């Protein structure tokens, strides 16, 4: 979206806000696509955002809230009066509603729930009682379900009577339950349309329908949808009562969000979700918590160079290869970290398998380390015509690659075993140790071969 267009929209919206022109604001917002709404809301001040939402109908405000990033939506909800927040949240899909409520403190959460429709509030309380990354926390409560003793006519009558509400439901097939609410089957749309009005659902429903437990993890849900080409899957509680449905698209979004969160944390964005519209002090504090630790770790690594400064001053050419040894080893280690993180998230490995993972990484690291060591060693030899410089650089890189993959493969498992977030802590540990070992190995080897390296 061009910056000039954002600016012109900002000016137009601010003018309409000053006139309290809710009808024109509604038409303007309705004319924008999702991307334009997100971009525009990111450029409005908090005061203007709050006034815009207050002038829009709860339904239109809910559509805006569903488009913008969750962290931004939560900030706006926290600024609202409980009545306004409840009205907007009531217009949102149940899973989106629960996501926002989960991020609020208990006081705000309960104040909003107290002002919602009792039945809807009860459903929201159910959803927020689960962890965000299990089936109960990812499911939605908008689905079609009818008792097996219902007739086709009773179903079609209900659909006609509630057509406006049901038009927003994404699921286009029907679940069949016992009168007590236990899941027994699924009914396809065409079966409902072609059946006689007096036909009981129990006679046309497909039995033995797939279902997932309400405590199924995100990894289990990812594996389920990988194995089954389904649009959605019902969620049942411990007594097999139908309580919700998880859609494939919601699982894909959750997986993408988790990967993004982990990537941001490995880059030092503590807390993950950061937008430049957040207060500067908050953003600075989040980043400094990482950078402060990182500078201490780098000082430790630099001390290794300081200890061998006489060697480095005698073999200036070695300075060219120190960052290469450190960087290439770090790359190998990061590959190992990525694989371990992926396997942990999928449940393929657990923290007790450290030795097995280490042996598998050593096998790969030995091959890659030798190849990389030969390449850098030959480059050093050809550059200076000194085979000993090649042995120093190549030997250091080979051994440091083994160190790096050992750390990268095992540290995430070890941290996970101690309930420490591996995405957050694996990076600085790997970087510091590979830097220290790389410098130590290269400078130590150089000191042992000083007689053959003088003057380079």
Domain identity same for 322 and 398: yes
Domain boundary among 71, 105, 129: 129
Domain identity same for 354 and 308: yes
Q: What does the pLDDT look like over 52-82, one tens digit per residue?
A: 888 888 998 888 888 888 888 888 999 999 9
Domain identity same for 341 and 382: yes
Give the residues across from 241 on adjacent strands: 182
Domain boundary among 202, 224, 246: 246
Backbone dihedral angles phi then psi of residue 4, each to the nearest 5 degrees: -65, -35
Domain identity same for 321 and 190: no
Q: For residue 415, what is the domain's CATH number?
A: 1.10.357.20
Domain identity same for 305 and 387: yes
pLDDT for the residue 342: 76
Domain identity same for 314 and 448: yes
How many alpha carbons lie under 13 Å from residue 415 in its C-beta half-sphere? 21
Domain identity same for 110 and 170: no
Pair of tokens at residue 157: 């009558």
Pair of tokens at residue 268: 């030092």
Q: Which residues contact 426 (CB under 8 A, 6 or more apart)?
A: 266, 337, 340, 341, 408, 411, 412, 415
Element (H or E) spanning 53, and its range? helix 46-55
Q: In whole angstroms, give the CA distance from residue 59 to residue 40.
A: 19
Q: In whole angstroms, give the CA distance from residue 132 to residue 139.
A: 10
Pair of tokens at residue 186: 């699924």
Element (H or E) spanning 177, and its range? strand 174-177
Residue 134 in any domain: the answer is: no
Q: In whole angstroms, give the CA distance from residue 308 to residue 87.
A: 67
Domain identity same for 122 and 207: no
Compute the C-alpha angle 10/69/73, nearest 5°: 80
Cβ distance 141 to 96 under 8 Å?
A: no
Compute the C-alpha angle 127/30/160, nearest 5°: 60
DSSP 8-state symbol, 271: T
Question: Domain of 210?
Answer: 144-246
Number of domains in the chain: 3
Q: Which residues contact 133 (CB under 8 A, 6 or more apart)?
A: 217, 218, 254, 258
Domain identity same for 326 and 443: yes
Compute the C-alpha angle 105/59/78, nearest 5°: 20
Give the residue from 342, 351, 449, 338 showing the smallest Cα distance to 393: 449
Element (H or E) spanning 180, and its range? none
Domain identity same for 183 and 57: no
Per DSSP, the residues of 62-130 read: HHHHHHS-HHHHHHHHHHS-HHHHHHHHTTS-HHHHHHHHHTS-HHHHHHHHTTS-HHHHHHHHHHHTS
Domain boundary among 99, 129, 159: 129
SS (H, E, C) 186-247: EECHHHHHHCCCCCEHHHHCEECCCCEECCCEHHHHHHHHHHCCCCEEEEECCCCEEEEEEE
Query: Which long-range contacts (C-beta less than 8 Å, at least 24 apart) are formed by 303-308?
Result: 304/435, 304/436, 304/439, 304/440, 304/443, 305/439, 305/443, 308/439, 308/440, 308/443, 308/444, 308/446, 308/447
Pair of tokens at residue 78: 């926290």
Domain identity same for 115 and 230: no
Residue 173 in any domain: the answer is: yes
Residue 253 in any domain: the answer is: no
Q: For residue 49, what is the domain's CATH number?
A: 1.25.60.10
Cβ distance 186 to 176 under 8 Å?
A: yes
Q: For residue 206, what is the domain's CATH number?
A: 3.10.580.10
- Cα–Cα distance list, 6 to 44, 45, 68, 299, 387 (Å): 10, 13, 15, 45, 61
Q: What does the pLDDT look like over 382-411, one tens digit per residue?
A: 998 889 999 999 999 999 999 999 998 898
Which sign does the torsion angle of CA 33, 38, 42, 47 carry?
positive
Pair of tokens at residue 322: 């120190």
Q: In whole angstroms, give the CA distance from residue 172 to residue 189.
A: 7
How many alpha carbons lie under 13 Å from residue 173 in its C-beta half-sphere? 19
pTM over 0.75: no
Domain identity same for 349 and 416: yes
pLDDT for the residue 273: 55
Q: Spell out, as residue ranges, where the chain has pLDDT lower than 50.
A: 1, 3, 5
């Amino acid at each position: 979206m061009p910056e000039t267009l954002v600016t012109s929209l900002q000016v137009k919206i601010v003018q309409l806000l000053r006139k309290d022109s809710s009808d024109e604001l509604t038409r303007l917002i309705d004319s924008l696509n999702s991307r334009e709404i997100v971009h525009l809301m990111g450029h409005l001040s908090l005061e203007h955002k709050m006034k815009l939402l207050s002038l829009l109908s709860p339904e239109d405000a809910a559509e805006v809230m569903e488009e913008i990033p969750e962290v931004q939506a939560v900030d706006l909800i926290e600024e609202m009066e409980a009545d306004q927040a409840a009205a907007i949240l009531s217009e949102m899909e149940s899973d989106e509603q629960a996501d926002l409520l989960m991020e609020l403190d208990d006081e705000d959460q309960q104040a909003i729930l107290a002002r919602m429709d009792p039945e809807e509030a009860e459903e929201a309380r159910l959803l927020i009682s689960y962890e965000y990354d299990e089936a109960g926390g990812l499911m939605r409560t908008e689905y079609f379900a009818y008792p097996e003793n219902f007739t086709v006519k009773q179903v079609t009558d209900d659909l006609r009577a509630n057509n406006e509400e049901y038009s927003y439901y994404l699921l286009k097939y029907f679940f069949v339950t016992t009168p007590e609410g236990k899941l027994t089957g699924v009914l396809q749309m065409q079966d409902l349309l072609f059946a006689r009005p007096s036909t009981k659902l129990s006679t046309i429903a497909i039995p033995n329908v797939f279902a997932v437990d309400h405590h199924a993890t995100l990894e289990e849900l990812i594996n389920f949808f990988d194995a089954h080409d389904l649009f959605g899957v019902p969620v049942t509680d411990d007594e097999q009562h139908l309580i919700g449905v998880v859609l494939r698209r919601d699982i894909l979004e959750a997986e993408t969000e988790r990967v993004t969160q982990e990537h941001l944390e490995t880059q030092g964005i503590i807390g993950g979700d950061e937008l430049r519209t957040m207060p500067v002090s908050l953003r600075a504090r989040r980043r400094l918590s990482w950078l402060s630790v990182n500078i201490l770790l780098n000082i430790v690594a630099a001390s290794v160079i300081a200890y061998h400064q006489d060697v480095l001053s005698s073999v200036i050419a070695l300075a060219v290869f120190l960052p290469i040894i450190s960087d290439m080893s770090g790359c190998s280690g990061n590959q190992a970290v990525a694989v371990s993180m992926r396997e942990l998230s999928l449940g393929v490995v657990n923290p007790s398998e450290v030795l097995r993972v280490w042996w598998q990484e050593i096998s790969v690291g030995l091959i890659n380390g030798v190849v990389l060591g030969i390449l850098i060693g030959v480059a050093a030899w050809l550059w200076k015509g000194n085979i000993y410089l090649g042995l120093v650089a190549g030997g250091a890189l080979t051994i440091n690659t083994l160190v790096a993959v050992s750390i990268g493969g095992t540290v995430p498992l070890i941290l996970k075993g101690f309930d420490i977030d591996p995405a957050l802590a694996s990076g600085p540990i790997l970087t510091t140790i590979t830097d220290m070992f790389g410098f130590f190995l290269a400078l130590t080897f150089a000191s042992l071969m000083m007689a053959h390296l003088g003057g380079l």
